[in-house]
A = this chain, B = another copy of it.
Amino acid sequence: MCRTSCDVIWRRTAIRRTMNNRERRQNRVAAFIHDVWNCGREEMVGGYIAKNYTVHHDPGDPWDGQILNVADFIARLKICRAPFPDQRFDIQNMCVNDDAVTICWLWEATQAGDLPDFPATGQRIRMSGATHYLFDFEDKISGHWQVTDRLGVFQQLQKNGSITRALSGSRRDGSATGAR
C-alpha cells in the first residue's frame, strides 16, 4: 500500500476513533443518569465514576468544591434522593468535546421526604439544569460542573408549603374535609 493511502487510512481511523469515543461517552452519561440518579442503583456507582470524583462547580450543593471517593458519592446520592425517591431526569440535549459531555435536563419528583424548612408535602417539584461531566483516561466520569435553577425549586417549595399549611389548618377545623 502506498504511503498516501496509509496516511489517509490512519487519519480516518484517528478521526473515527475520536467520533466513537464521543458517542460511547454520550451513551455512558445517559446510562449513568438512568441507573444511578433515576433508579438509585448504588451498586453501579463504582462502574461509572472515577476513584476521585471532583465537584468542580455546583452552587448550593453541600459537596461543591469537594473531591469524593465512591463511598462519598454513594452517601451523596442517598442524601440527595431521600426526599425525592421517584425522581426522574429527562435529558433534553447532549453535546461533547474530547474530555467531556454536557447535558441539559429537566427533572421532576414528588417531595416525599422533609427538606430543611420544607416538610414533605407529597407535591410534585420540577427543575431544570445543565451538567458538564468530565471523563478520565479510563472512560470513568471524574467530576462535574453544574448549574440548576434553584430559585424555581425554592418558589415551588414555598408555594406547596403554603398550600399544605392552609389545607392542614382547614382539616383541623374540618371546613375543607366534610368532617363536620
Contact = CB atoms under 8 A, between A and B. Distances in A.
Given A8-B8, A57-B128, A93 B100 contact: yes
Interface in A1-36: 5, 8-9, 11-12, 15-16, 18-19
A153 to B, nearest CB: 8
A144 to B, nearest CB: 10
Contact of A93 (B5, B60, B132, B149): B132
Interface residues of A, number: 34
Interface string A124-151: 0000111010000000000001011111
Interface string A147-167: 111111010000000000000
Contacts of A104: 57, 102, 130, 132, 145, 147
Contact of A147 (B15, B19, B130): B130
Interface string A67-85: 0000000000000000000
25 contacts: A5-B8, A8-B8, A8-B9, A12-B15, A15-B16, A15-B19, A18-B19, A57-B104, A59-B151, A96-B96, A96-B97, A102-B104, A102-B132, A104-B130, A104-B145, A104-B147, A128-B147, A129-B130, A129-B147, A130-B130, A130-B147, A147-B148, A149-B150, A149-B151, A151-B151
Given A94-B97, A102-B130, A104-B130, 4 more contacts: A59-B152, A93-B132, A95-B102, A147-B148
